[in-house]
Amino acid sequence: MTIRSDDPPIDERRIGQLLEAARTAAAHAYVPYSRFPVGAALLTADGTVITGCNVENASYGLTVCAERVAIWTAAAAGHRAVRAIAVVAPKALGATPCGACRQVLNEFAPRDSDLLVVVEGADGPEPVVLSALLPRSFGPTDLERAEG
């Protein structure tokens, strides 16, 4: 699947690399309460791969998802566009990002294309675009239109 015609394609090999990085990240999850590890690996616009894992807290509301850890780590490193993200939940294959993570992903999705989300399914990678997971989304371009 090609995200943008001027970028290298996100092919099966790259998807496999992202899923493997997400599996590794899931192994580092801090999940003493739910025992439900999740790992994420995102591909930034410049080709950098950044991972995250879920981190729980005894004050449950302060728990943060793997996808948001990866996004915030990327943002802290100066990345502002994400081309793809792979998500692995070993105890629930096929699990997709929660609604809050979908909205955060939308903030950093490319403006001229869609963000590829790949989850690890029982039969292999399950790719879907973010717009299918978050239809009619609200994001940065809506605010820009409101200002103009």
By annotation, the residues acting in catalysis are 67
Distance of CA 142 to CAs 2, 25, 70, 98, 146, Å? 25, 33, 24, 22, 6
Distance CA 120, CA 132 (A): 17
CB 95 within 8 A of CB 53: no
Half-sphere CA count of 99, side-chain side, radius 13 A: 3
Joined tokens for residue 108: 């950093």
Distance CA 89, CA 124 (A): 13
